[in-house]
Structure 1
Amino acid sequence: MNRLFWRLLPLTLLALLAASAVLYVLFSRLYGDPLEDIARRQAAAQLFVLEHYIDAAPRDEWLERLNKVREVSPQRYELLPLDEALRGLSRAQQERLQAGAVVLDVAGRRLLRRVDLQGERYVDSEREVLRISGLPIDVAQALRQEALRWGVVALFLLVPLALWSRLHWRGLLALSRTAEAWGAGHLSARAETPASTSLQPLAQGMNQMAERLAALLEGRRHLLHAVSHELRTPIARMGFDLELLRDTDSPAARGARIDALERDLAALQALVTELLSYSKLEQTQLQREPFDIEDLLRQCLGAQELEGTARALQVQIAPDIGRMCGDAHLVARVVGNLLGNALKYARHEVRFSARTLPAGQWELRVEDDGPGIPEAERQRVFEPFVRLPQTGSLPGHGLGLAIAARGVALHGGAIQIEKSALGGACLVVRWPRGGQT
């Protein structure tokens, strides 16, 4: 048996005991003492003789019938003074006896009742009490029956509880072993629990967490590898330029070397800036505020036009595009990266369009007439530092689309690449106006 069951067992038994005590108190207040009711049923024969034989006698024959019953009954019939009979009774029993009711003394196996209240049966009969002792009352038997009843209830309750706790405990042990494996560095381990158990949602959450951690660590490993590769080229060029700078005496040559060093330094600065931007997105908390989508898109388009690009830019923004709740700075960064990417790879023309969609979404499309992106590479280009062979001669570090994809995901949207009607690539973004994740 498992520890979970042994911890639940005393709690269950205590709960059953508490339930029986509460029921006893509740029934006592509503219907009278259950033990007294049992004793009354067990003494029904004596009560019948008292009420239907002795009490049914004429006034002058009451004592005579009482004596006849004394002679044949195994019980002891006694007449006691009222004051003596009241001693040893509780206040409630005294009140009932004073009122002429039958009072059962369960522990003493006897009953008491006043002879009468008006003294009609004999002289001073109102001051005497009839006590019948030795009644066939066995409350212990009734208590044993009640204990047996509650025992059966406990058994039928504990058996399914044991089965459930065993299954639950096995699931907890499986989760514990999985957590220990993760602690040892084996993130490939997965929590396996039956789908019917209540631990299944927890196991799924743990597995998703492990997959996320594994993906983050793998991404971090690839990122470090890619960063080292990207940094190696400009650093090597700077080292080469420094060596040439030491070996040359010509002012023109020294100036050319210094210019080359400045270009490499600017490339390093741009790379570090992009890396910081990407790393911040991995840990960012969105500052959600409502903003006008059309105004933001117009600002992004104006910033691109200020760069003096010679490509033709066609813009189509729906007039009813409305407002969005999200991080305006991040949305502007996403739009700027997508638009800048299209302008960099386009030969002559870029199309930019935005419109509303059903179910509270809006869509952004950026198309170009450049070399396009092969279908097999359309998911990989959203990874950091991924650059296709046909774009290797163009400046960049392969972080623009990775930052854009992360920004779209943080707003609960999705980004995909399609074939453009212009012959190049078409990047499509769909996200909710509310920006829920």
Structure 2
Amino acid sequence: MPAQCKGHFRLFLRYCLGFVLAYLVLIASGLYLWAALTEQGEDLQIRTQLQGTQHLLHARYADTPQADWPQLTRRLQMQFAYPLRVMALADAPHVLDLPSLEHLDHGGLVLSPDGHFSYQRLPGSTQVLVLGDFSEPEQADVAWYDSGHVDAAVMSGIFILAIALPLYFLVYRLWRDVYALGHMALAIQQGELAVAAPVVSTHLVRPLREALSSMSTQLQDVMEGQRILSQAVAHETRTPLARMRFALAMMQIGEEDPEGAELLDGLKTDVARLEQLAAAGVTYAQFGRSPRVATHRLDVAQLFEALGQRFPGIGDSSPRLCFQPPHQRTLVANRDALMLALGNLIGNARRHAVGQVVVSLHVAGSGLVIAVDDDGPGVAPADRERIFQPYVQLQRHPDGFGLGLALVHIIATKHGGSADVCDSVLGGARFRLLLPEA
């Protein structure tokens, strides 16, 4: 069964069972209260219906000698659909209470507490004519479909179907529309802002469709504005920076002016940082507005080798970079984006590590985890989510702008994964890049 059908069928069962149980409780409570209120009226109605029958029976017994009453009882029983018998008045206390016995002793018609039997004393005798049980007529004379159990089963089935069928079609339509809107929201989350709003047939979810459609349009406008702004900023910033760099290169400051030379070196450093910041901002904007990245199957060993060549050992004072042999030989990702993300993680770890940085890859659940561990001070739990936000730096560093970890988070998201940080076995921080295993 498709996932969509399973979803709406589970929803239908949950709502249907709830509705049926609620209705059954309400109907049973109502019937019980109604029966309690009308119990006396029913007894009076039964007594009225039996008066004529009892009068005719009494006349037959009065015209028949008492010695022939057993034979008369057998003949009459053949003509009645319910039992008929004669019992001694002395046995009446076993089945009737004191008020009923007094009424019976005066010749009155008495019903049993459950209304299934009637008792009346035969005139001029110590015998009582008993009719019933009225709730169980002769089975030979009753069709199977006239059974009370069958009636109850049929009524219950009709009642359940009357609730279940309309509810099923209502839930199916509602689930179908919600499922389609859920796909639209997921597409918007993944960056597909131009997704068309699905057609919905349920009035209940039409406001949600309109809200999602309006949100998608507004997001497209915002993203387009960001794209235009980032391109304009990159273009307009690089030109004056290039002119400044050219002007600084043309400036000549002699050895007799050490302060001027120091000032010139600082200006060159600031211009270089501004150029790096502009390039990092453009890269961040490019990854942020792309819905997905093109992925290929990559060799993990070659990827680690390329990263090792990018971060050669500088000296004895620099942290040692180690790559653990991976158990997984290949992974599916965009090579340039993954190199950028891992490069940012390794560079960040080397800036904070004391003596060692370890890169590893292992399988976790249904995905792959690339971990970068260091033996530095680590990241406080309160800062572990904030650190992935753009332009956030826990400690100021001359080579950082607060975009490296934000790029890591975006690249992981565009691959359908995520990025986080936790404690490392080395004593510092472990930055993890979680990727789905294709």
TM-score with structure 2 setting the length:
0.44
**TM-score relative to the length of structure 1:** 0.44
